[in-house]
Amino acid sequence: MNDFSRAITYLNDPFNWSRPNGITDLALEHIGISAVAVLAAMVVALPIGVALGTARRGAGLVVVLSNVSRAIPTLALLTLFAVSPIGFGNRATTIALAVFAIPPILTNTFVGFRGVDAEVREAARGMGMSRAQVLGRVELPLALPLVTTGIRTAAVQVVATAGLAALVGGGGLGRLINLGFGQQDYGVMIAGAILVAGLALLTELLLATVSWAVTPGPRRLPFLQVRTSPRAGGVPEPTASGVPL
Partner 1 sequence: MTSLATRPLLDAVSDPAVGLLAVDEAPNPWFDPSYVTDNWDSILTYTGEHVRLTVLAVVIGAAVALPLALLARRSRYLSAPVLGLSTVVYTIPSLALFALLVPFTGLSSNTVLIGLVAYSLVILVRNFLAGLQGVPADVREAARGMGLSAAQTFWRVDLPLALPAFMAGLRIATVSTVALTTVGVLVGHGGLGQLITGGFAANFYRAEIVTGAVGCVLLALLADVLLAGAERVLTPWARAVRT
Quick check: 223 binds partner 1 (CB under 8 A)?
yes
Interatomic CA distance for residues 240 and 163, integer angstroms: 21
Q: How far is the CB of 23 from partner 1 (least distance, A)?
A: 14
> Which of 145, 192, 236, 238 lies at the binding interface for partner 1 (CB under 8 A)?
192
**Residue 212 touching partner 1 (CB under 8 A):** no
d(CA 163, CA 173): 6
- Considering only the stretches 9-17, 123-131, 139-147, 195-203, report the one whose residues sit in contact with partner 1 under the rule CB under 8 A: 195-203
**Minimum distance from residue 52 beta carbon to partner 1 (Å):** 22
- Of the pair 132, 224, the CB lying nearest partner 1 is at 224
Distances (CA, A) of 70 to 171, 194, 226: 24, 26, 20
Residue 134 or 151: the one with the smaller Cβ distance to partner 1 is 151
Answer for which of 48, 75, 129, 140 binds partner 1 (CB under 8 A) is 75
Site for partner 1 in 114-173 (CB under 8 A): 156, 159-161, 163-164, 167-169
| The binder of partner 1 chosen from 11, 80, 140, 142 (CB under 8 A) | 80
One residue of 62, 124, 154, 194 binding partner 1 per CB under 8 A: 194
Number of residues that bind partner 1 (CB under 8 A): 60
85 part of the interface to partner 1, by CB under 8 A: yes
The residues of the shown chain that bind partner 1, judged by CB under 8 A, are 1, 3-4, 67, 70-77, 79-80, 82-83, 85-89, 91, 156, 159-161, 163-164, 167-169, 174, 177-178, 180-181, 186, 189-190, 192-194, 196-197, 200-201, 204, 223-224, 226-232, 242-245
